[in-house]
């Protein structure tokens, strides 16, 4: 088990050595066009939709069953996933959607997903086969392919949703400079917060999954990474953090945090886009538009302004 050396974080897009980063979160949505429009309405700059495929032994590709649109940040990204084919992965997405639309995926990046896959099996997880995944992307000069290696565990092994570890092979194709400037000033994905009925058990599982120690704070338990963290809370703490938002089911990936250049600029875009939001100290809490499902964002200019990163009591 790796002990995180400090709360200072690596300011780099991709991890090196034994580092592990919070890479992206994924909304499961029924309609990619309306999800993209919702992101744009409140000041994000979503990419064009892309259909994900797996290379096959004959040299061709086969559909994974999902596609995505993304909002790419200077650090990390957010995606909205939609069903494209009746495959196992497509049916898994639909099953999650039948429960509720919202965030059902959290992905962590490492330098060697194959090594992470072996480690997960060694510490007792039922792992799926390692997957080489691709998706076509357009670039400023033509077309390219984004390539990933993904380590996944069996359905239900991580009750929170599709919790996975991946390695990026094509940083330049994924994080194109033209997609990194957002009118609302979004800079980076910071933390993800999950409501669960048993914080202690969930923390132990995430600790084993991520190979990082957990610590307790006034909000629950936190797993700190080399960039980002996973904050686990009881449902009553979640309700205090996001008043009035009914938890659709437990566990619930109900909130994630994004840094922005200016809260004042962000407020203008949230208001213009009709978002429900409020100030919470040095942060802005905003509900997801209906097209992105149930949940909320917390926006801050500095990560230490997040309530669970500071000394505030819940």
Instruction: Report CA dihedral (106, 184, 172, 149) to the nearest 10 degrees.
Output: 10
pLDDT at 64: 84
Q: Which pLDDT band, with edges at 50, 70 and 90, does 8 fall under?
A: low
Nearest 5°: the CA angle 135, 71, 214 is 95
Domains along the sequence of the chain with CATH: 21-179 (3.10.180.10), 186-309 (3.10.180.10)
Give tens-digit pLDDT for 207-249.
Answer: 999 999 999 999 999 999 999 999 999 999 999 999 999 999 9
Give tens-digit pLDDT for 55-106.
Answer: 776 667 788 899 999 999 999 999 999 999 999 889 999 999 999 999 999 9
Neighbours of 274 (CB within 10 A): 10
Return the percentage of the chain with pLDDT > 90, whole number.
83
Q: Which pLDDT band, with edges at 50, 70 and 90, does 6 fall under?
A: very low
Taking the alpha carbons at both ends of the chain, their separation in whole angstroms is 29
Q: How far apart are CA 46 and CA 262, in angstroms?
A: 20
Q: How far apart are CA 199 and CA 192, in angstroms?
A: 14
Q: How far apart are CA 135 and CA 137, in angstroms?
A: 6
Model pTM? 0.93
Largest CA distance in the chain: 57
Query: 22 and 106 in contact (C-beta within 8 Å)?
Result: yes
Give tens-digit pLDDT for 150-207.
Answer: 999 999 999 999 999 999 999 999 999 999 999 999 999 999 999 999 999 999 999 9
| Neighbour-count burial for 198-227, b at 16+ CB within 10 Å, e otherwise | ebeebbebbbbbbbbebeebebbbbbbbbb
Beta strand ranges found along 12-112 (DSSP E): 21-28, 50-55, 61-72, 77-83, 102-109
**Among residues 64, 44, 42, which one has the least CA distance to residue 55?**
64
Q: How far apart are CA 22 and CA 129, in angstroms?
A: 22
Name the H helices within the chain. 32-41, 88-99, 113-122, 171-174, 199-210, 235-241, 263-272
Give tens-digit pLDDT for 285-311.
Answer: 999 999 999 999 999 999 999 999 985
């Amino acid at each position: 088990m790796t002990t995180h050396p400090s709360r200072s974080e690596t300011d780099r897009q991709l991890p090196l050595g034994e580092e592990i980063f919070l890479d992206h979160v994924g909304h499961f949505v029924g309609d990619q066009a309306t999800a993209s429009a919702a992101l744009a309405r409140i000041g994000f700059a979503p990419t064009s939709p892309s259909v994900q495929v797996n290379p096959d032994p004959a040299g061709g590709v086969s559909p994974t069953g999902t596609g995505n649109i993304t909002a790419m940040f200077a650090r990390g990204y957010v995606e909205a996933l939609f069903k494209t084919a009746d495959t196992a992965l497509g049916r898994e997405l639909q099953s999650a959607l039948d429960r509720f639309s919202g965030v059902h995926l959290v992905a962590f990046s490492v330098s060697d997903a194959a090594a992470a896959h072996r480690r997960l099996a060694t510490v007792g997880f039922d792992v799926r086969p390692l997957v080489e995944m691709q998706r076509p992307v357009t670039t400023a000069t033509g077309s390219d392919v984004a390539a990933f290696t993904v380590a996944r565990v069996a359905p239900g092994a991580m009750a929170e949703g599709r919790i996975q570890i991946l390695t990026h092979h094509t940083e330049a194709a994924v994080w194109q400079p033209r997609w990194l400037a957002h009118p609302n000033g979004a800079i980076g994905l910071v933390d993800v917060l999950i409501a669960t009925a048993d914080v202690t058990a969930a923390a132990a599982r995430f600790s084993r999954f991520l190979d990082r120690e957990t610590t307790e704070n006034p909000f629950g338990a936190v797993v700190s990474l080399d960039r980002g963290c996973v904050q686990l809370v009881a449902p009553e703490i979640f309700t205090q953090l996001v008043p009035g938002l009914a938890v659709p089911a437990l566990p619930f990936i109900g909130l994630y945090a994004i840094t922005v250049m200016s809260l004042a600029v962000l407020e203008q875009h949230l208001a213009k886009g009709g978002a429900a939001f409020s100030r919470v100290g040095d942060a802005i809490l905003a509900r997801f538009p209906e097209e992105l499902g149930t949940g909320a964002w917390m926006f801050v200019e500095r990560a230490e302004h997040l309530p669970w990163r500071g000394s505030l009591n819940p």
